[in-house]
């Protein structure tokens, strides 16, 4: 009966156009009232605890940080500074897209903000130089996903805060996988450039190391910002929430002295961040209520027992969960998908004996896949808009397919070799 009410209620409310947070919360309240002997006060207590959680306050701060960077124009300076470094590499500025997205992801924490900030600079620049528009959009969409994995990551913060997993450990664990995936993206660009049709201009001349040095010198403030955001966490100086606050202050200072940030742009960034967190906060509220109901009724354990009856082992159940995330990623944005599913999938995964740090990275990768999966892939929408519809959604999706496969391959690799993630837990 609990499963019927859960699945039926979510299906009806989500297909009716109801707000996601409200749909999750209403189903959770119905389960608590009808199936758990009217235990609705638990939902009120859980909601209050969530809204007053110090750790979760890092989320609006990191959203604000991403909006400040987007408004300050810093991405253009970073892009121009790294351009000479890839002048002789096959694919040239396509690698700059990946590299700048990686650096920007190390301070913004948001996939969409990263794609928008770098795309608004990179797409016009590469199109003016004769690069294939589909290849440009594909590299930018894939590079944007790195903002959701490379710390500080909104997905990892929300995962850690809602499931009581160390956010600092998640940040350290996400660094190596993020860099490995960035390298894999660049390897694909080299292969596509050398063995496919022409997608980039021919490299000319020799590497100008003086230009490279000048470019790197131009971006010297960025490592300072990365230190405030990540270095303070890794050195044990600050908690993730405190580092987010430090990052906001540092980004404002750098934006006004190094970028073109001013008070009207800062105010607009604050308003944009507030609206975004209001939407995420509503989903968080609904998720907490649903999580209480699901946990109290033992639904995850029942699901594991039911699936195990088909003779599937832990990895068979994991495969089913991966498929569910890929399918749902076609219809929900990343953060909504994460919040909506964790109340069920997290207890199932832990019950099967998988490590919570490992699952945090893997589920973030699955969410990243959704960011470039049509029809709801937000990065695809952002970049088709930036291209002024020169590249349609179908073309963008086809160009992103190799990167989609790389991300899916990374899920398989980290499942076969979990130590690539879990080495951090051995400290």
Q: Residues near 403 by Cβ (< 8 Å), separated by ≥ 6?
A: 138, 139, 141, 142, 145, 185, 188, 372
pLDDT at 331 over 60: yes
Where is pLDDT greater, at 7 or 366?
366
| 344: pLDDT strictly greater than 90 | no
CA distances from 255 to 44, 72, 75, 260 (A): 41, 5, 10, 6
Is pLDDT larger for residue 66 or for residue 181? 181
The pLDDT of residue 409 is 95
pLDDT score of 28 more than 80: no
Higher pLDDT, 184 or 8: 184
Choose between 162 and 297: higher pLDDT.
162
The pLDDT confidence band at residue 7, using thresholds 50, 70 and 90, is low
At 418, the pLDDT band (50, 70, 90 cuts) reads very high
What pLDDT shows up at residue 398? 87
Would you say residue 289 has pLDDT above 90?
Answer: no
Residue 84 predicted with pLDDT over 90: no
| Measured distance CA(31)–CA(38) in Å, rounded | 9
Distance from the first to the final alpha carbon of the chain: 45
Contacts of 32 (CB under 8 A, 6+ apart): 38, 39, 40, 42, 43, 289, 292, 293, 296
pLDDT tens sequence across 104-124: 877 776 777 778 778 887 888
Confidence of residue 360 (pLDDT cuts 50, 70, 90): very high
CA distance 43 to 269: 33
Query: ω into residue 375 within 30 of 0, thus cis?
Result: yes
pLDDT digits (tens, 9 = 90+) for 214-260: 877 877 778 888 888 888 888 888 888 888 899 899 889 988 888 88
**Is pLDDT above 60 for 30?**
yes
Confidence of residue 72 (pLDDT cuts 50, 70, 90): confident
* Most confident range, picked from 144-148, 189-193, 198-202: 189-193
pLDDT band at 5 (very low <50, low <70, confident <90, very high): low
pLDDT of 305 strictly over 70: no
Per residue in 47-66, pLDDT (tens digit) is: 787 777 777 788 888 888 87
Tokens of 76: 């253009």
What pLDDT, on a 0 to 100 scale, did the predictor assign at position 204? 60
3-state helix, strand, coil in the chain (%, to 5): 80, 0, 20
The residue-averaged pLDDT of 163-168 equals 87
The predicted structure's pLDDT at residue 309: 66
């Amino acid at each position: 009966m609990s499963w019927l009410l859960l699945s039926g209620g979510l299906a009806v409310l989500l297909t009716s156009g109801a707000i996601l947070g409200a749909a999750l919360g209403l189903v959770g309240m119905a389960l608590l009232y009808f199936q758990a002997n009217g235990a609705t006060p638990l939902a009120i207590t859980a909601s209050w605890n969530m809204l007053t959680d110090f750790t979760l306050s890092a989320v609006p701060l990191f959203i604000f940080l991403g909006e400040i960077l987007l408004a300050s124009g810093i991405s253009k300076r970073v892009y121009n500074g790294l351009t000479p470094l890839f002048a002789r590499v096959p694919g040239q500025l396509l690698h700059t897209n990946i590299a700048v997205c990686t650096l920007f992801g190390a301070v913004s924490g948001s996939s969409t903000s990263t794609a928008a900030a770098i795309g608004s600079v990179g797409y016009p620049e590469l199109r003016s130089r004769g690069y294939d528009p589909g290849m440009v959009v594909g590299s930018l969409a894939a590079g944007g996903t790195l903002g959701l994995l490379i710390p500080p990551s909104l997905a990892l913060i929300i995962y850690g805060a809602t499931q009581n997993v160390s956010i600092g450990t998640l940040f350290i664990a996400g660094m190596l996988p993020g860099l490995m995936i960035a390298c894999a993206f660049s390897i694909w660009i080299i292969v596509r450039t050398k063995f496919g049709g022409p997608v980039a201009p021919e490299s000319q001349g020799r590497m100008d190391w003086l230009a490279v040095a000048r470019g790197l010198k131009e971006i010297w403030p960025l490592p300072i910002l990365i230190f405030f955001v990540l270095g303070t966490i890794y050195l044990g100086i600050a908690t993730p929430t405190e580092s987010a606050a430090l990052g906001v202050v540092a980004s404002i200072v750098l934006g006004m002295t190094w970028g073109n940030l001013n008070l009207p742009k800062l105010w607009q960034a604050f308003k944009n961040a507030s609206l975004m967190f209001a939407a995420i906060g509503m989903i968080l509220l609904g998720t907490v209520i649903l999580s209480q109901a699901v946990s109290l009724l033992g639904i995850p354990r029942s699901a594991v027992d039911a699936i195990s009856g088909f003779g599937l082992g832990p990895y068979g159940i994991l495969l089913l969960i991966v498929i569910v995330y890929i399918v749902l990623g076609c219809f929900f944005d990343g953060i909504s998908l994460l919040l909506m599913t964790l109340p069920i999938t997290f207890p199932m995964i832990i019950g099967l004996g998988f490590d919570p740090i490992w699952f945090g990275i893997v589920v973030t990768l699955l969410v990243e896949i959704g960011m470039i999966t049509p029809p709801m892939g937000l990065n695809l929408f952002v970049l088709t808009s930036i291209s002024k519809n020169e590249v349609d959604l179908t073309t963008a999706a086809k160009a992103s397919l190799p990167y989609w496969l790389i991300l899916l391959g990374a899920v398989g690799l980290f499942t076969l070799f979990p130590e690539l993630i879990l080495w951090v837990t051995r400290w």
